Structure 1
Amino acid sequence: MLSSITHLLETVLSTKGFYNHDNNYHVALTRDWLSWVRANDAEIMTVLENQASNLVKAATILAESISDYSTLKEKNSILKNLEHRGDELTHELFTIIDKTFVTPLDKEDISELTSTIDQVLDATYGTSDRMVLFKMQKSSIHMQELANLLLNACKEIHNAVTGLPKAKREDLIQYTKAISHSEHEGDNIYRLAIADLFDTNNAIEIIKSKDIYETLESALDRSRDVADVIEDIALKYR
């Protein structure tokens, strides 16, 4: 993408009389333009990578808290801070692209990518927050399985986002396939979990657990949305 932007700028500057290989001043001017473009690229990609790293941290903490309920409240507070940090990063990125003329990807693609990542984070924190709200005392094996699948999906999101500047199309597609696989496995586990729920007689626990399962599944569904955006980017720019 950057090479195409570079070529475009050189073409425009040459057409307008600003670019001339025989004129050192004009060459320096062009280099200043290209350095500015690269700086914007780096700034935008850094925020996206920070957002993806923040998401992995949140998914890791959720998986740990579901495995060990003794730390649920403490880790829910950490997740709340990570969710807040995610909102800050999303806002920061929107501010950057709003004032940036040339971006490494279309502004619409960047906006959709940062928004879908934030939605995964919201559902991740939402799962933990519901557990605290419902005063749940233990998790099920299905909750642990869904949380681990979500963590795997978030790690692949991180791999894909950090790979956007240089990764080949095939590599990006492999990351998106791995995310989609986790989401598909999550659907299967969700159905099993709901079926198992109705083998019990505790109506209150059924309601609580069903809500948790639905929120975990929603997080996985949103991860699939991220995969779709990344796949579109891979096909468009590679």
Structure 2
Amino acid sequence: MGIKEWLIPQDKVFFDLFEQLAGTVVLAARELEQIVTNETDPAQTYKKIRELEHKGDLITHEIYEHLNRTFITPLDPMEISRLASALDDVIDYIDDSAEKLIIYKITEYDKSMQDFAQIIHLSTIQLECGVRGIRSFKNGNVLEKCGIEINRLENMADDLLAQSILRLFATEDPMTTIKLKDIYECLETATDKCEDVANVLSDISIRHS
């Protein structure tokens, strides 16, 4: 690496990588939604999600590698680290949710699972929009709108979890209750992680506005 590369902020590299990571998160969320809406073969779709999770790990690692090599960065190094970690957490919980569906041998996907998956997918679309917005901090309104929508969706997921668990404990099959509760909580955590990304984006927007 030449002296010029050390001195000039590598804006494009970091922003490109963040957009790639956010796009990968969206793809994983879409695959999860397709599982619970019976649009694809669950085992094959889970394999795709695993591949996307691995791709996300590689992109996250590349972000950290660039962070370690770049002298001047377009964002504070801690902001870059927090955003990479938060996005990686989202795809991890999407992967975990899909894995639980396979491990527990779920063959019938109820309305709660479908609603959770839709909320996750919609949240990741908003995340991708927000990540694109950090290329220019003139897009503060865009980041704010994305954050508000993600927060609204996360609140919906909170309510959905409460209602879903309430219905579960009205059943007489304890094993089914345990399995579904674990799945619902994992899906809801994915929406929490989306909100974590939105909070990081909000902090970045405030700091650089």
- 2:192 is aligned to 221
Conservation of the 8 A alpha-carbon contact between 1:69 and 1:138: no
What 5-or-longer segments of structure 1 have no aligned partner?
A: 1-31
Corresponding residue SS for 1:168:
helix
Conservation of the 8 A alpha-carbon contact between 1:58 and 1:79: yes
1:235 aligns with 2:193: no
Quote the offset at 1:168 in angstroms.
2.0
Cα distance per residue 1:23-53 (max 9 Å; x no partner): xxxxxxxxx9599625x11011100000000
Counterpart residue identity of residue 71, structure 1: D
Conservation of the 8 A alpha-carbon contact between 1:69 and 1:137: no
Of 136, 141, 161, the residue aligned with 2:106 is: 136
What 5-or-longer segments of structure 2 have no aligned partner?
A: none
- Give the superposed CA RMSD: 1.6
What is the percentage of aligned positions where both structures have the same residue? 29
Q: Distance in 1 between matches of 2:98 and 2:6?
A: 44
1:73 aligns with 2:43: yes
Conservation of the 8 A alpha-carbon contact between 2:32 and 2:98: yes
Quote the offset at 1:204 in angstroms.
1.2
1:83 aligns with 2:53: yes
- 2:177 is aligned to 206
Corresponding residue SS for 1:135:
coil
Q: Distance in 2 between matches of 1:37 and 1:158?
A: 26
**TM-score of the aligned structures, taking structure 1 as reference length:** 0.83
How many pairs were matched up?
A: 206
Counterpart residue identity of residue 135, structure 1: K
Q: Which runs of 4+ in 1 moved over 6 A?
A: none
Equivalent residue runs for 1:111-130 within 5 Å: 111-130=81-100
Counterpart residue identity of residue 74, structure 1: Q
Of 80, 83, 107, the residue aligned with 1:110 is: 80
- 1:24 is aligned to none
CA pair 91-35 structure 1, distance change in 2 beyond 3 A: closer
**TM-score of the aligned structures, taking structure 2 as reference length:** 0.94
